[in-house]
Amino acid sequence: MSSDTIKTALLQLSVLENKQENIKKAIRFISDVVAKNQVELVILPECFTGSYNVNDFASHAESVPNGEACQALSKIAKELKIYIIGGSVIEKDFNGKLYNTCTVWSPTGELIAKHRKIHLFHVEIDKQYFGGSKFNEAIALTPGNSFTTVMIKNKKFGIGICHDIRFDELARIYRNEGCEMLVYPSAFCTCQGPMHWELLQRGRATDNQLYVCQVSVARNPTTEYVAYGHTMLVDPWANVVCEASEKEEVLVVDIDFKKVQEVRRQIPIFPERRTDLYNTLKM
């Protein structure tokens, strides 16, 4: 495999009520996809260990990196010698605060990055828009306050979680720091999805000339919060490289990072930016 290419698996998993079963399923899917496709990187969805519901977050929360899901991801990453972007788990810190947290694991099983969701999901969408939705993570969760970049092979990734994708300033900071791919484990609802799922990913990719990926949980119409599904990867030209359906599904793709430099060379917008007039500052 070329140093400019990373064979990647995007796992759109259905989530059950039982945390232990969800973890076992994730490990089984990881093992299967690596055995069949020899992937180097696996990306999981947001809240893959339990239901996406403010009243349920505490029931499947765990410490990072010593919790049950974290230790399982560490073990399988080391065993298979792969990188894992571990979707997100609900993290409980030593003060009892809860965070929506993405962990990233190296082929040695080391925790190499941790991103606490910066922008907590809060919407009050009227019913005429695909049935509407009301949700406020801040009822149960605390926002993170740190940017998160990580090297996977020789490529820099920027990490966000779901609602973080709506804030272009975060993506711009990651681009300024040299990122070539942005990853957002996600669980968009079925009213947001048709309106903005693809639009936001293609927008972030166009503005920053990099890959953008959102990995969703599979849709379960029987749950209180119904996820959109449609896990997607968008390239630096803003073309959709691959897209899942709403059901449980695995996508395997060779991500060619040469395309990032090709796009930036052909449309050199960043050297032309008028930072004497405007800028995105990292505070």
pLDDT tens digits along 209-253: 999 999 999 999 999 899 999 999 999 999 999 999 999 999 999
Ranges of beta strands (E only) in 46-148 are 83-85, 89-92, 98-105, 111-116, 122-125, 133-136
Length of the chain: 283
Structure tokens at 252: 């395997």
CA-CA distances (angstroms) from residue 21 to 131, 194, 214, 229, 251?
A: 31, 30, 23, 20, 22
CA-CA distances (angstroms) from residue 200 to 108, 255, 279, 281?
A: 34, 20, 21, 22
Element (H, E) at 256: strand 249-256
Task: Find out whether 215 and 44 touch, Cβ atoms under 8 Å.
Answer: yes
The per-residue b/e assignment along 7-16, b for 16 or more CB within 10 angstroms, e otherwise, is bbbbbbbbbe
pLDDT tens digits along 139-173: 999 999 999 999 999 999 999 999 999 999 999 99
What CATH number belongs to 5-266? 3.60.110.10
CA distance 200 to 260: 18
CA-CA distances (angstroms) from residue 123 to 34, 102, 136, 204, 207?
A: 37, 22, 7, 21, 25
Closest to 60 in 3D by CA, of 75, 78, 68: 68
Listed by start position, the domains of the chain span 5-266
Q: Is the pLDDT at 283 greater than 80, yes or no?
A: no
Confidence at residue 167, expressed as pLDDT on a 0 to 100 scale = 98
Position 130 confidence tier, pLDDT thresholds 50, 70, 90: confident
Position 12 confidence tier, pLDDT thresholds 50, 70, 90: very high
- Catalytic positions are 46, 117, 162
Position 111 confidence tier, pLDDT thresholds 50, 70, 90: very high
Percentage of residues in the chain having pLDDT higher than 70: 99
CB atoms within 10 A of CB 196: 15
CA-CA distances (angstroms) from residue 25 to 57, 150, 176, 248?
A: 19, 26, 37, 12
